[in-house]
Amino acid sequence: METGVLITFIIYLVGMLGIGIAAYKMTSNLSDYVLGGRRLGPGVAALSAGASDMSSWLLLGLPGAVYASGGMNQIWIAVGLAVGAYLNWQFVAKRLRSYTEVANDSITIPDFFENRFKDGSKLLRVISALVILLFFTFYTSSGMVGGAKLFEASFGLSYTQALWIGAIVIISYTFLGGFLAVSWTDFIQGILMFLALIIVPIVAINKIGGWSETVNQVGELDPIYLDAFSGMSALAIISLLAWGLGYFGQPHILTRFMALRSVKDVPKARMIGTIWMVFALFGAIFTGFAGISYFAENPVADGEQVFILFTQVLFDPWVSGILLAAILAAIMSTIDSQLLVSSSAVAEDFYKAILRKDASEKELVWVGRISVAAIALIAILLASNPDSSVLDLVSYAWAGFGAAFGPVIILSLFWKRMNRWGALAGMIVGAVTVVVWKMLSTPELNEAGEVITEAVIPFSLYEIVPGFIFAWIAVMVVSLVTEAPSKEIEEEFEQAKA
């Protein structure tokens, strides 16, 4: 292990923990802990949203998918995500920031659903909190897998040792500082990720001999690597583009909209966030593409380590340490946000709403902190398999949130006729469709990877597509066949709209 890499890593980790301690001193109540007191500027909101969104998937999963699948046919996922992120900022951000403040100053997504529809039964709050805990546990485990792969490849640790070391660091500063620590660290991590995804592919392509030479070498290996349509059916392209639908339902991204200091900051944040997203996504794709040529003679066993290997072979140890820290930044920036949203669901939506309505603010903050540790432990157990794929775990959780919350969020912000029964139906139908579709479309394999039992659904379609469609239909149909919202709800809708 290179001393420069180790020292760079230690400096970075100490810096992140320092931010956590500073934020700890500024966190006095639950609103501070889970939403930062609604005082994020546009730059911090945009970069922290992007960083928390992308995770290890951006630096490990996406380059690995391009490398393993053989070229540019994975570009569709980047197009879908870039468009989805832009539309989310364009249509959801401003309205959600306004509506959550109007709706009794809601500080969590379940809190917003309950206040938006005046749901005294607590059903909306509880069901949405359960959805958050279910899918974020899988999502968090994907980050744990990414962290373990990073420490394993960089420091020669066993997978299990690497898993626990990465987890302890992330849990520590999230436990201490809450939303402010998460947002500030995500801002720094977003910058670091952006620079890494610009530098690594440029240096790799120049090392090969330039863009034309890289394209020629990849084309010589197999011409279909250059074809964005190679091996892609219409359903496959739709599945990759459909990743963009997921943005409308991701709680850790939506909370950044809610935490903006003003709706006037949305246009600037949207511009910053969109630029960051486009450059980062295509930097990841070009990293995987360059890897096909660079590692042609010595193929990479695990495609998700392409970015890690580039940092080791192209740069001196000090620069390599900074670039590897960017991978850790991607991992940490997502896990901390997910842990925070999950802990707020426990503290605000279960503990306070159901168990102890008179709980003090200090008590709720500590319930949130304990929840961070508990949820992280469950995620570590899920991530304990060294063969886990970052992309597989992310895609499942992404689809779950996109289908369960996406249609409900959009229609609750733009359709006055929607009621609580429609919202409840949409959430349940979206979540159940994703789980059931995934089960029915996945064949049973043996240890050698051979198919034992064919999938019930004979074609491959990303589960977010049927989940989103069925949830949208459920919201509209159930809302229309049940009682209309009260006059008070309609007046509040118009107030938020104005």
* Average pLDDT for 266-284: 92
* Average pLDDT for 472-491: 95
Q: Is residue 382 in some structural domain?
A: yes
Q: Is residue 180 in some structural domain?
A: yes
Candidates 196, 260, 233; CA nearest to 54 is 196
Q: Are the C-beta atoms of 71 and 218 separated by less than 8 Å?
A: yes
For the cut 60, the answer to whether the pLDDT of residue 417 exceeds it is yes
Any idea what the CATH number is for the domain that residue 223 is in? Answer: 1.20.1730.10
Kindly write down the DSSP assignment for every residue of 1-13, as one continuous string: --HHHHHHHHHHH
Separation CA 251–CA 35 (nearest Å) = 12
Q: Is residue 421 in some structural domain?
A: no
Q: In 3-state terms, the chain is what percent helix, strand and coil (to 5)?
A: 80, 0, 20
Q: Is residue 147 in some structural domain?
A: yes
Q: Are the C-beta atoms of 412 and 423 separated by less than 8 Å?
A: yes
What is the tally of structural domains in the chain? 1
Q: Is residue 383 in some structural domain?
A: yes
- Which two structure tokens, joined as six digits, stand for 344? 């707020």
- Which two structure tokens, joined as six digits, stand for 368? 């949130």
pLDDT digits (tens, 9 = 90+) for 107-149: 888 889 999 999 888 889 889 888 888 887 777 787 777 777 7
Q: Is residue 436 in some structural domain?
A: no
For the cut 80, the answer to whether the pLDDT of residue 464 exceeds it is yes
Of 253-267, 363-377, 429-443, the one with minimum mean pLDDT is 363-377
* Average pLDDT for 157-176: 73
Q: Is residue 422 in some structural domain?
A: no
- Which two structure tokens, joined as six digits, stand for 291? 């890897």
User: Looking at the DSSP assignment, which residues form a beta bridge with residue 356?
Assistant: none
How high does pLDDT run on average in the chain? 83
pLDDT digits (tens, 9 = 90+) for 23-67: 666 655 555 555 556 777 888 888 878 877 776 678 777 888 888
| Whole-Å CA distances, 485 to 114, 404, 414, 443 | 13, 21, 14, 44
* Average pLDDT for 159-172: 76
Output 288 or 165, whichever has higher pLDDT: 288
Candidates 446, 442, 468, 464; CA nearest to 455 is 442
| The model's pTM | 0.83
CB atoms within 10 A of CB 180: 25
* Of the ranges 114-118, 206-210, 471-475, the best mean pLDDT one: 471-475
User: Looking at the DSSP assignment, which residues form a beta bridge with residue 445?
Assistant: 451
pLDDT digits (tens, 9 = 90+) for 329-350: 667 767 777 777 777 778 777 7
Q: Is residue 429 in some structural domain?
A: no
Supply the range of the domain harboring residue 252. Answer: 3-387
Place of tokens 């630029």: 275
- Which two structure tokens, joined as six digits, stand for 62? 């996406």
| Whole-Å CA distances, 115 to 25, 67, 119, 155 | 30, 46, 7, 49
- Which two structure tokens, joined as six digits, stand for 192? 């670091």
